[in-house]
Structure 1
Amino acid sequence: MDRLRAAILSTTTLLALVGCSGPAPSSPIASRTAPPSRTAPPSPAAPTVRVVEEDRADLHLWVTNQSFRDDPVALTVSIDGIEIVDRHFAVENQHNFVLFPVQVPPGRHVLRVVSGTGVEIQETFTMPEAGRQYAAIDYENAVDDAGRRVNWFIRSTPIAFA
């Protein structure tokens, strides 16, 4: 029964990521934005990956913990070796999606996610010359601890969550 529940939750998360068009402007999810980086801006000659104000972001990256078993879970996210997320994520009611607006130059990039439970993924993605990309990272763990994993999803249209 526990495996069935975990499979249903995993499928529900995936369907929420794939099948929706975007959060409403008044949505409480849309207002959950991580604070921008307080580091000095890079020189114009060297574009770099960094957390910025939401309206300046090329990539809207949503991060969530979908595991009641590992609550909270530490997640560290880096792009091209530059750390953009390092914090604990609470599962709450499994609708706790935190937005990290990131400036990412056009071209091919490497995303790496490491959890405090030892799960690690590395994926490549390409940012277009123009337009915004929308991505989600979700951490999950089956009740029997055999199913810890991190999922990554990116697309060119906004993501909404059920």
Structure 2
Amino acid sequence: MIDFSVNGKQHQVDAEPMMPLLWVLRDMLGLTGSKYGCGMAQCGACTVHIDGQPVRACVMPISAVAGKKVTTIEGLSKDGNHPIQKAWIEHNVPQCGYCQSGQIMSAVALLEQNASPSDEDIDNYMQGNICRCGTYTRIKAAIKSVSSGPDLAKNVGDDA
């Protein structure tokens, strides 16, 4: 049994130690916001936070999260009211939407580390998240609109 927290709630799962966190989240806990994209940590669709750091859940073994805090897209806000989620809507970022939970989770991590990122900072930090629809300009605009805004760290999981 592996004990860990997801979106502020304690969970205990009976899973093989090397089972990817993504499959535990999706198949065992029913949290389907994090998406399977490539299975090799190359596309970013599966990005979640572990103890506040963005990681690719498709390659993270469940045994590595024992005793840790995992935050998924569902944990940012119950109703999509997190500042970055609002910015995504205001800037009409999603097209197909498949990669967007990973994009959002990476953007939140960026802004928690750097409240006023430059365009270059955004490009460098977000380069591991692929959007097949090419909404990168809108992604950058949404991130810029939230930069230097409210303290994002206090919002994570507050109402999830």
- TM-score bucket of the superposed structures, by smaller chain: under 0.3
Whichever structure has more strand as a proportion of its residues is 1
TM-score (norm 2): 0.25
- Larger Rg: 1 or 2? 1
Whichever structure has more helix as a proportion of its residues is 2
